[in-house]
Amino acid sequence: MLIMQKVHLHKLSDTPKKDYPKAEEYYLKALAVDPNNALNNGNYALFLEKIKKDNTKAEEYYSKSLAADPTNAFNNIKYALFLRNINKDYPKAEEYYLKALDADPTDANYIGSYALFLEKINKDYPKAEEYYLKALATDSTNAINNINYALFLRNINKDYPKAEEYYLKALDADPTNATYNSYYAVFLQNTKKDYLKAEEYYVKALDINPNDANTNANYAQILLSKGQKEKAQRYIETAFKNLDNDSVLIELWFYRYLHYSEFISEAENKIEDLLSKGIRSLDWDFSENIKRAIREKHPNTEKLKEFARRISTK
């Protein structure tokens, strides 16, 4: 999972009362007084996109904001993100990323956001790295850019020592970010095979955000590999209650299939159903859990190996 790049957007949710009807009333009042105000049009567009989920109307106001001030970097980057995430119009999104960077070439968040676009959408890895490094040269303590570059180094370049360096830089910049702690724990677990230290960072992540499904599932996996079934069960149940993606779901059923005899039949059916729907957890390492299940005399060692292969590969 790759964290999405953030930019300095107007934080609508920071309004203490979150009185959205009244907020909209005042946006409209401001625009009635000055309909060509670029800032108000841009912020109202963001409100329409993020709060009202009215993407058609949001795009109308993004266009108004840019007609009023086509060189406004903030409005250009917001519209680029809208085009990327909502419209999936990637060529047009890139056009507005570049307009934002022309208007403000030294904003580390804008540069990093474009680097992520180059990596994830264009698959232009040399150019993506160039922009990650530009972003970090501009602001070496930017936590989001450090974590995204760490993920790039791990997943694309396979430069694991350098990746760890940037995971730690991200955590130095934002040590209480649950996601960053969890990402580093995954790196420690699956890349370095340092399970003890991985457990430490999963615990840190869960202290900050105890309901994250992915982190609960990953921590449960380590506990199960150590034979701590009772303790792991609490984290599995929490993960089930807070599910937000199917790759975690198939992992959870596989852990039940591997380690809990009372779930074997149900888990087998669930896993087959999820696999038939194309659900996978690609490249996830189940080797330690398989070793534990075999030591504990799982009744179908060939099936568990087959499931592990099918779940983790296309």
Per-residue 3-state assignment (H helix, E strand, C coil) for the chain:
CCCCCCCCCCCHHHCCCCCHHHHHHHHHHHHHHCCCCHHHHHHHHHHHHHCCCCHHHHHHHHHHHHHHCCCCHHHHHHHHHHHHHHHCCHHHHHHHHHHHHHHCCCCHHHHHHHHHHHHHHHCCHHHHHHHHHHHHHHCCCCHHHHHHHHHHHHHHHCCHHHHHHHHHHHHHHCCCCHHHHHHHHHHHHHHCCCHHHHHHHHHHHHHHCCCCHHHHHHHHHHHHHCCCHHHHHHHHHHHHHCCCCHHHHHHHHHHHHHHCHHHHHHHHHHHHHHHHCCCCCCCCCCHHHHHHHHHCCCCCHHHHHHHHHHHHCC
pLDDT for residue 136 is more than 90: yes
Instruction: Place 12 in a pLDDT band, splitting at 50, 70 and 90.
Output: very low
pLDDT for residue 188 is more than 60: yes
pLDDT for residue 3 is more than 50: no
pTM (two decimals): 0.90
Instruction: Place 18 in a pLDDT band, splitting at 50, 70 and 90.
Output: confident
Average pLDDT, the chain: 94
pLDDT for residue 197 is more than 70: yes
Task: Round to whole Å and give the CA distance between 18 and 277.
Answer: 39
pLDDT for residue 15 is more than 70: no
Q: Which is higher by pLDDT, 142 or 13?
A: 142
pLDDT for residue 151 is more than 50: yes
Instruction: Place 7 in a pLDDT band, splitting at 50, 70 and 90.
Output: very low
C-beta separation of 106 from 135 below 8 A: no
Q: How much is the average pLDDT of 128-155?
A: 98
Task: Round to whole Å and give the CA distance between 202 and 232.
Answer: 13
For the purposes of burial, counting CB atoms within 10 Å of the CB of 236, is it exposed (0-12), middle (13-18) or buried (19 or more)?
A: buried
Residue carrying structure tokens 């266009």: 63
Q: How much is the average pLDDT of 264-287?
A: 97
pLDDT for residue 45 is more than 70: yes
The CB-side HSE value for 245 (13 A sphere, CA atoms) comes to 11
Q: How much is the average pLDDT of 107-119?
A: 98
Percent of the chain with pLDDT over 90: 94
pLDDT at residue 66, as a whole number: 97
pLDDT at residue 14, as a whole number: 43
Instruction: Place 17 in a pLDDT band, splitting at 50, 70 and 90.
Output: low
Q: How much is the average pLDDT of 64-80?
A: 97
Q: How much is the average pLDDT of 176-188?
A: 98
pLDDT at residue 174, as a whole number: 98
C-beta separation of 274 from 254 below 8 A: no
